[in-house]
Structure 1
Amino acid sequence: MSKIPVYFMPGLAASPAIFERIKLDESIFETHLLEWEIPNPKESLEDYALRIAKKISHENPVLIGVSFGGILVQEISKHIKARKVIIISSVRSNVEFPRRMKIGKTTKAYKLIPMKLILNIENLAKYSFGEKVNKRIKLYEKFLAVRDLNYLQWAVESIILWNRDKIDENVVHIHGDQDDVFPIKYINKCIVVKGGTHIMILNKYKWLNENLPSIILEN
């Protein structure tokens, strides 16, 4: 029996190392890690998705994306036939964006985000307060792979301006009830992970390891 190819796409600017604790049975699944690439000037999200889709060498793969990676795998699935699309800590349409993101789109406030500050995590740590924030910053430092200004500006704009306004019911959505980036009150139907935050790929990996296989295999 041939193995089921599973491709993982990390969140915004993150390295595929965020999946290091996710272990699927190697006798059934064959896992592959996708990485962010620097976008071409003025590249649309659709064109970018087509470019990343060309890195997928198996037919009918399972696509799993976290956060912005969840948005991207939905776009990739327009270009290739996927056995299943699973998103974690993400959204299935722009209707599920929190109010601040919708306002950001209308006012173009996202253009004012100081990207250089985001890139310089060490500086961010100096200005952050409390152990919880510093812990999270240490995590980001470990898992932030893309420190490129053009990529960050492109990624933030691609998220805010994402034009999908209808949910694809075939996309499986796994979401934490403590997600502070995409609050669950805006999310339409999902598999809820109790106590799961936006970074639950890192700290709820036991739940994911127990449940992902059956989620992938169910028809």
Structure 2
Amino acid sequence: MVHSQSDRPSELTAELASASIAELVAEIEAKTPTETGQTIEQIEKALKDIYFVSGLGADERVFYLLKLEGYQPIHIRWLKPEPDESIADYAKRLTAQIKSDRPIIIGLSFGGIISIEIAKHIEVEKVILISSAKTDAEIPLYFKLFRWLPIHRVFPFKTLLWTTYRLAYWIFSLETPDECQLLRAILVDTDADFLKWALHKVVTWKNQTVPDCLHHLHGTSDRIFPIHFVTPHAKVEQGGHFMVINRATQISSLLEGILKVI
């Protein structure tokens, strides 16, 4: 049973950490508004921070179906890149948003690449990639072709995706109307300049450094980073690039298994 802070302040945090979410919800519902406020504050303190870095042009909406009990999600916000800013310098600027010592970082797609770059600047407990690449060797050849023919720097990719939604739906392996609606909303909010910058960083990324604490989850049907280019630690059968949404239960289970490993 969870008690208020005034009852057992020395034991509350440990008890909250071991209680299930269902138990905590039931306990909160039985309290007065004042007691509820105190308990919620203690719960937030007991939860461990876990940092999420979304995919190219996306935001925290892509993670909303993930369920990780005992963790407080913190979403890294994309910043406007400086002129000619390197991916290393950009990642270093993002570290200002990380307040935890030895954080756990989960990166999706381009966010996975950024997570690896962040790990070069600060000590991390774990880096978990979803639908991403660990080194430049895992970047597909058709991306690398843009190094010599950089049409991505002038071609309006956002406009292309906006006007050819069916192509985008296929690329991201969407399965339901709700998923299509979410992707449309994300594309609407995507900054075109950031998209061009980020695409260029993917195309030109040079990396051979893989953190020892890295874990990689990848779908076997990913069309952006095809499975035959990467060597993940766990494969999600029939998972596409949007599997964090349409395979959220399975992804959550895999993440919880990784997080339990010391």
TM-score by length of 2: 0.74
Q: CA offset at residue 165 of structure 1?
A: 3.3
Does the Cα contact within 8 Å between 1:180 and 1:198 map onto a contact in 2? Answer: yes
Secondary structure (helix, strand or coil) at the match of 2:164 reads helix
Task: List alignment gaps of at least 5 residues for structure 2.
Answer: 1-13, 15-45
2:68 corresponds, among 24, 28, 31, to: 24
Aligned to 1:63: 105
Runs (5+) with no aligned partner, structure 1: none
Counterpart contact for 1:177–1:196, Cα < 8 Å: yes
Contact 1:70 1:87 in 2 (8 A): yes
| Partner in structure 1 of residue 117 of structure 2 | 75
Q: Residue 59 of structure 1: CA displacement?
A: 0.9
Give the letter aligned to residue 183 of structure 1: P
Structure 1 position 161 matched with structure 2 position 201: no
Q: 2:55 aligns with which of 11, 16, 20?
A: 11
Q: CA deviation at 1:134?
A: 9.7
Separation in 2 of the partners of 1:42 and 1:146?
A: 23
Note the 1:11-160 alignment, pairs <5 A.
11-25=55-69, 28-118=70-160, 121=162, 123-125=163-165, 135=177, 137-144=180-187, 146-160=189-203
Range moving further from structure 2, 28-37 or 193-202: 28-37
Shift of the 73–62 alpha-carbon distance from structure 1 to 2, 3 Å rule, reads same
Superposed displacement of residue 210, structure 1? 1.7
Deviates more, 1:194-203 or 1:137-146: 137-146
Q: Give the aligned CA root-mean-square deviation in angstroms.
A: 2.5
Q: What is the CA–CA distance in structure 1 between the aligned matches of 2:118 and 2:241, rounded to whole Å?
A: 22
Q: 2:81, 2:194 within 8 Å by CA — same for their partners in 1?
A: yes
Cα deviations by residue, 1:87-115 (Å, 9 ceiling, x for unpaired): 00000001011121122223334335323
**Structure 1 residue 174, shift from structure 2 partner:** 0.3
- The CA deviation string for residues 164-217 of structure 1, in whole angstroms up to 9 with x for no partner, is 035445311100000000010111242101111011011010002222112022
Matched-pair contact (CA < 8 Å) for 1:15–1:145: no
Q: Tell me the SS of whatever aligns to 1:107.
A: coil
**Aligned mates of 2:250, 2:175 — CA distance in 1:** 24
* Cα distance in 1 between the residues matched to 2:167 and 2:184: 15
Report if aligned partners of 2:175, 2:246 keep a CA contact under 8 Å in 1.
no
Higher helix fraction: Structure 1 or Structure 2? 2
Structure 1 pair 198–53 and aligned structure 2 pair: CA distance change class (3 A): same
Partner of 1:173: 216
Residues 4 and 62 in structure 1, CA contact (< 8 A), matched pair in contact too: no
Which AA in structure 2 matches 1:171?
L
Residues 1:146 and 1:155: Cα distance change in structure 2 (over 3 Å): farther
- Does the 8 Å contact 2:220/2:235 carry over to 1? yes
Identity %: 29
